[in-house]
Amino acid sequence: MDKAYMLYEGEPMNSMLGYKNTIDTSLYRDSILPLDTSKEISVLISDKVANGADIRYELRSFDGSNLIEEGDFRFIKDNKKNYEELLGSNIYSMYQTNLRMNLNTGTEYSFVIKAVGQSETVNYYTRVVYLSDSRLDEFIQFAEKFTNAVFDTNKKVMDMAGDKSSITTFNVSGVLADMAKEKEEAKKQRVIASTTDAMAGVSDADLSMIFGSLDANSEVYNNSISNVNPSGTPGYVTLQSSYEDVIMNGIRMERLGNTIPKVKELTSTSALIEMRYKTISEDNDKLKTYAISEYLALDYDNGGAAIRVSDYRRYIHQDFDSDGIDSASNSLILGLSTDADPEYITNKDSDKLAFVADNSLWIYNSVNRTYSSVYGTSTDEAEMERTPQEGYNIKLLSLDDDTLNFVVYGRINEGPREGRTGVILYEYNIADTTLRELKFVSSDLCLDEMKLSVGKLAYYDKKERVFYLLIGDRMLAIDVFSGKTSDRVESLPSGHAAVSDDMKVIAYPDNEDLTKTKEITIIDFAKRTEVTKSLKGHKLQLIGFVGDDIMYGAAKNENVSRGKDGTPKFLFDSLFIVHRDGNVVKKYERDNILISKVKIEGDTIYLTRKEVNEETGDISDAQDDYMTFRPKEDTETVTTEINKNELGNKELYLKFPMSVYLRSGNEELFTKVASALDTSEIEFKSHEVDKAAAYIYGPSGIRGTADSVGKAINDIYDNGGFVVDAYGSIMYREKITRPYLTVAGTFNYKAVDNPEDSFAACNYMCLLAAGVNADYDEVKNTKDFIKSFEMYDASARGINISGILLDTAISYLSDGNPFVAKIESGYVMVVSYNDDFIRYYDPQLDKEVKVQRYLFIIDCEEQGNEFYTYVK
């Protein structure tokens, strides 16, 4: 099914997949379009989809639950020739509409484009936001020129090097040095952005201002750079990567077709731009194709009148072909790959291997020297593609000598169910190279939402023909023959369940409120057993899997509380490691000792401990301890390896055991699709997303959840991305913080006499600052920062950001939102900052206090960095 595209300033962007059902948009953040005062929206739709259809739209609340406006698009013109170079030979027509309703500035809405035909409707989803000032045109120019600069420089380097077969990392750097000499004048004018157009042109010299090199022969060598990674990993590039890796480190790479940008996130001063495309390279007369996804997080720096790259990620996945079957190393070479831990599975003897490469499923049979594309793109198709596979994920379940079972979830991209969302259980017959659908579970969940459940657990009991599926907050048991479905577990707190790597075992608590967990249930699907663990007078906390076993802690009721960030806090008096059958493997328990923190590294468990005074009951720090556990048993099977090729670039290998021999002369077999034995489907209606969770997104999509905003933000420190709530509000993202700001005098202060009332006073002032007409007594009685905002049904949302750094809390004030901080004397409202000082209003003193920033940091840290603020 052809994609649709939004038009911005007359150019296509934001490709949209077509859906033949409606989807829940609570966690759907695929693209966004800014609107100005005209509220005009233009879209390109393929005539294959639009012919005979009425083109309509729906404007909805972010989660799609409330319809705000609906209307029709009007046909503007046939664009057959206009975008042929970008969109290919398909005929696209332009449609246009203008929204009627006034939109709240900065509020994101779900927008659905509907091609309503006689027999079916195709839906295209995006988001829209009204911005009084948007720099999107400049952001897109920046992203396109950035990407162009990579390939322009790659071409220049390879052309100057001459013989591409002799390229090495060393002479790549040498060529760069020669280029630097030829462009001495340009080198003097290295500018990332200008004050007039935010980026007049990104050249190779501009790239060298962003990326450094550790190679002394390179034009961008800088021995003072301490955070640049060594060259050799062009498959995964970040801002810490070397300049050589950015320009492909000796691989002559060309793009297949043009790149259409996708705007993933957007504010008045920032954007996250995605660039997805296919490339091709030639190595010793062998063609290789790659799927590349780039993500540029861009900020407009008002102070410097320039665009800055705050984060950059480039992911490369090499397409698999027969050249990847390497008898010399007894391996399948997957080549350049972002993923060092690919999805793969073997049969018992490890002579058959199924694996996923660029979201396509392959199977290799070493016995008869054959390989097949089971789902996704075959070798021939890979060379024809212009954009990578997207919209779905593959999960491998089991492989024996005869059959491979797997699931595809998300948007189904081929077959009779193309365009539907849900989960398909497939069976592939190895001898017949035949693929057959066993069961389809339809759902309105988007891919990101399915990743949180289906991505964790799907298991097929082949003997009993029962399909177990964790989807949403339910675990279903589906009889594949009869279609009879039952809830194996209802209202499962999936965010807190632990699943084994082989997806054969799940452990989960009996209560969504983790401070009230009395029992932990362990289900072994393979052995068809279920056991429950409990300890009298104790609450339990599931810690997770350690090796093949399960670990949990037990704490007395009085030793269970909530931390300042609202998350459960346990002081365990005992720790348990149990087998999958529930039998205790190891127990840790010491007299008068409580465990406050458990950290697992390798096969060692490190314990932070507290000591209880027998006479007074006082709790103080004790010496740390550790325990070990049995790691997973090593078996002779396929393993992953990272090896360097002749260019010094890291490549991913799937290495077979010595008992299996790979040989040359392998044949590609093509998969035949058989009719489903049962074409009926099971419908799963969407559940309500967890409103209390913080959702963590990386550039390419959802990464996970956290039970507090503070924990989610700490994840962003390490891995990048941003945090959103279930209502679509961005609660945190890394951005440029203004050097100073004050909101003092923009709202009324509230003075109190007692320290215990200082929190209510600061809470009340935050509501006023957010534009909420609040009542102090009502706020005081609520005693809950988050619920006080919910009580007034405000457009702003209160958030507990405890546990983060003060500098991060200041980033909220940089956006104009004051925050509450706990200091030794009570709670205060921070209203102003610069590099050296913090100014806060103290409701007990009824005055503003100016304090040195470093002293305020110390004061806050001593109180556990307890902070509160709001987002709109």
CB distance 308 to 301 below 8 Å: yes
Instruction: Compute the distance between CA of residue 2 and CA of residue 513 in angstroms, rounded to an integer.
Output: 45
* pLDDT of 641 higher than 80: yes
Q: Is 634 exposed, middle or buried (0-12, 13-18, 19+ CB in 10 A)?
A: exposed
pLDDT reported for residue 489: 86
**pLDDT digit string (tens) for 305-331?**
788 888 899 999 999 988 999 999 999
> pLDDT-derived band of residue 216, with 50, 70 and 90 as boundaries?
low
Cα distances (Å, whole numbers) of residue 115 to 18, 37, 95, 390, 436: 9, 26, 11, 21, 30
Instruction: Compute the distance between CA of residue 160 and CA of residue 155 in angstroms, rounded to an integer.
Output: 8
Average confidence (pLDDT) over 603-618: 93
Write down the architecture of domain 741-871 according to CATH.
Alpha-Beta Complex (3.90)
Least confident stretch, 124-138, 229-243, 697-711, 725-739: 725-739
Both tokens of 610, joined, read 């507290």
* pLDDT of 184 higher than 90: no
pLDDT reported for residue 642: 94
Instruction: Compute the distance between CA of residue 129 and CA of residue 108 in angstroms, rounded to an integer.
Output: 5
> pLDDT-derived band of residue 746, with 50, 70 and 90 as boundaries?
confident
* pLDDT of 660 higher than 90: yes
pLDDT reported for residue 602: 86
Q: Torsion-angle region of residue 9: left (phi > 0), alpha (psi -120 to 50) or beta?
A: left
Tell me what percent of the residues of the chain surpass a pLDDT of 70.
89
Contacts of 494 (CB under 8 A, 6+ apart): 452, 453, 456, 470, 472, 473
pLDDT reported for residue 561: 94
pLDDT reported for residue 220: 60
Contacts of 351 (CB under 8 A, 6+ apart): 365, 366, 367, 656, 660
pLDDT reported for residue 29: 95
Instruction: Compute the distance between CA of residue 681 and CA of residue 646 in angstroms, rounded to an integer.
Output: 51
Q: What is the DSSP letter of 490?
A: S
Q: Please give the mean pLDDT across all residues of the chain.
A: 88
**pLDDT digit string (tens) for 498-541?**
999 999 999 999 988 899 999 999 999 999 999 999 999 999 99
Tell me what percent of the residues of the chain surpass a pLDDT of 90.
67
Q: Which residues pair with 701 in a beta bridge?
A: 698
Average confidence (pLDDT) over 774-797: 92
> pLDDT-derived band of residue 163, with 50, 70 and 90 as boundaries?
low
Write down the architecture of domain 4-130 according to CATH.
Sandwich (2.60)
Q: Is 431 exposed, middle or buried (0-12, 13-18, 19+ CB in 10 A)?
A: exposed
Highest mean pLDDT among 23-27, 607-611, 635-639: 607-611
Sheet holding 331-335, edge to edge: 325-326, 331-335, 650-655, 639-644
**pLDDT digit string (tens) for 458-481?**
999 999 999 999 998 889 999 998
* pLDDT of 171 higher than 50: no
Average confidence (pLDDT) over 656-672: 93
Average confidence (pLDDT) over 590-613: 94
**pLDDT digit string (tens) for 700-715?**
899 999 989 999 998 8
CB distance 270 to 317 below 8 Å: no
Least confident stretch, 219-228, 455-464, 766-775, 779-788: 219-228
Please choose, from the candidates 161, 35, 65, the residue with its C-alpha nearest in 3D space to the C-alpha of residue 727: 65
Where along the chain do its domains lie?
A: 4-130, 136-318, 323-445+634-679, 502-547+549-631, 694-733, 741-871
Q: Encode 645-666: b = buried (16+ Cβ within 10 Å), e = exposed.
A: eebbbbbbbbbbeeebebeeeb
* pLDDT of 191 higher than 80: no
Count Cα atoms within 13 angstroms, Cβ side, for 737.
21
Please choose, from the candidates 289, 210, 285, 295, the residue with its C-alpha nearest in 3D space to the C-alpha of residue 29: 295
Global confidence as pTM: 0.89
pLDDT reported for residue 215: 65
502-547+549-631 classified as CATH 2.40.128: yes
pLDDT reported for residue 450: 93
> pLDDT-derived band of residue 407, with 50, 70 and 90 as boundaries?
very high
